[in-house]
């Protein structure tokens, strides 16, 4: 249970976050030698493809011109399935892992699948991190409620997770599938602990729609098919800022679901120096500014929140408490409870 304390205490730690100014930090990116590092590194991640193409690939290529960095992208559960198969075959291709669900890292750590490495930049990380460096939070995503302001007045929008059980939203609400989405899985476990599984019985009675992912939900919010939905904050921030879409974020009064997703090096890596260098870059100020440009919150106190979002300190104190070890230990049972109660 000690290993889980990093995440149980996340709310208290993140409360120290104070947004500051932006600016490049090339020194931090060169902590492990920058362009001197060579070889191949494979990254498995659940970060959205457009963020990988527009933020991750160009920035890392610039920082490490002599290293070939490849990417496998998929939803958290798809990535986990791939790694599970590779572990069984004793052919793990990933050097670095960046998926959404923090509890999965606890399982990998327990199975001795992670390489311990304390980055020099870990000292600046105010979010969750393992004292031995098996994993370090690298990006913070938030599960929130969103609505279309062209279809719904702010005063009429749901203000809490419990509001979604109000019969007036019957057939007009949605959430992503926790069988596919790591952040949705966290949200289900957190809300089941907070309100009991009866909460999901109530959502089922309210004809909640379960979509494959956050992207499908955002599109149906735009068309008005859904009045409100449980969704990732980053999806809504991006559409509001880049497309000027009328989607708005509600930070639920009964607690935002804060997900500090880690980065970790697989113990089977064939290029530990290259993997460590990339970890250093992601945790540097420059790397964290790339995270924020991807509409996620930084794990450092000296990087501003994404455009259109408040600082974490404004809602972290009320964040839903999450038992990460429980999520790690009871993954199959939690998903089965959800499937039986909501999807059947």
* Mean pLDDT (whole number) for 297-323: 96
How far apart CA 67 and CA 106 sit, in angstroms, is: 29
Question: To which residue do tokens 């980053």 refer?
Answer: 234
* Mean pLDDT (whole number) for 83-106: 98
- Up-side HSE of residue 125: CA atoms within 13 Å toward CB? 33
Tell me, what's the pLDDT at 237?
97
Average pLDDT taken over every residue of the chain: 91
- The full set of domains in the chain, from first to last, is 2-140+259-318 (3.40.190.10), 141-257+322-343 (3.40.190.10)
pLDDT of 221 over the 50 cut: yes
Tell me, what's the pLDDT at 35?
54
Report yes or no: 282 and 276 within 8 Å, Cβ to Cβ: no
How far apart CA 98 and CA 123 sit, in angstroms, is: 20
Residues 120-150 have pLDDT tens digits of: 999 999 999 999 999 999 999 999 999 999 9
pLDDT of 13 over the 90 cut: no
Is pLDDT larger for residue 10 or for residue 149? 149
Tell me, what's the pLDDT at 157?
98
Q: Which pair of structure tokens corresponds to residue 341?
A: 């109660």
* DSSP secondary structure of 196-221: -THHHHHHHHTT-EEESSHHHHHHHH
Model confidence band, residue 331 (pLDDT cutoffs 50, 70, 90): very high
Q: Which pair of structure tokens corresponds to residue 218?
A: 């955002």
Tell me, what's the pLDDT at 36?
83
Determine the 3-state secondary structure of 125 from DSSP: strand
Model confidence band, residue 11 (pLDDT cutoffs 50, 70, 90): very low
pTM of the model: 0.89
* DSSP secondary structure of 294-318: TT-B-SBTTSPPPTT---GGGTGGG
The helix or strand, by DSSP H or E, that contains position 57, with its residue range, turns out to be helix 57-63
Question: To which residue do tokens 């979604």 refer?
Answer: 164
Tell me, what's the pLDDT at 203?
98
How far apart CA 282 and CA 300 sit, in angstroms, is: 11
């Amino acid at each position: 249970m000690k290993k889980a304390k990093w995440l149980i205490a996340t709310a208290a730690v993140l409360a120290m976050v104070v947004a500051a100014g932006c600016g490049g930090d090339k020194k931090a990116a060169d902590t492990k030698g920058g362009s001197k590092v060579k070889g191949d590194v494979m990254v498995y991640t659940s970060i959205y493809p457009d963020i990988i193409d527009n933020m991750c690939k160009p920035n890392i290529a610039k920082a490490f011109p002599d290293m070939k960095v490849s990417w496998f992208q998929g939803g958290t559960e798809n990535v986990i399935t791939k790694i599970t198969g590779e572990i069984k075959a004793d052919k793990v291709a990933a050097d670095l892992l960046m998926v959404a669900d923090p509890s999965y890292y606890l399982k990998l750590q327990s199975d001795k699948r992670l390489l311990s490495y304390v980055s020099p930049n870990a000292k600046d990380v105010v979010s969750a991190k393992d004292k031995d460096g098996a994993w370090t939070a690298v990006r913070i995503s938030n599960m929130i409620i969103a609505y279309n302001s062209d279809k719904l007045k702010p005063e009429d929008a749901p203000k809490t997770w419990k509001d979604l059980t109000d019969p007036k939203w019957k057939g007009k609400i949605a959430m992503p599938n926790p069988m596919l989405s790591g952040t949705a899985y966290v949200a289900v476990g957190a809300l089941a602990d907070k309100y009991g599984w009866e909460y999901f019985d109530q959502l089922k009675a309210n004809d909640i729609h379960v979509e494959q992912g956050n992207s499908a939900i955002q599109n149906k919010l735009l068309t008005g098919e859904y009045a409100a939905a449980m969704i990732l904050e980053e999806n809504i921030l991006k559409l509001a800022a880049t497309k000027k879409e009328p989607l708005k974020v509600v930070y639920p009064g009964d607690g935002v679901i804060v997900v500090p997703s880690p980065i970790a090096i697989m113990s089977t890596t064939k290029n530990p120096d290259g993997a460590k260098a990339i970890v250093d870059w992601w945790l540097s100020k420059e790397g964290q500014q790339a995270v924020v440009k991807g509409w996620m919150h930084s794990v450092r106190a000296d990087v501003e929140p994404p455009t259109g979002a408040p600082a974490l300190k404004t809602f972290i104190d009320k964040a839903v408490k999450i038992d990460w070890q429980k999520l790690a230990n009871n993954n199959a049972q939690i998903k089965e409870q959800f499937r039986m109660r909501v999807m059947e």
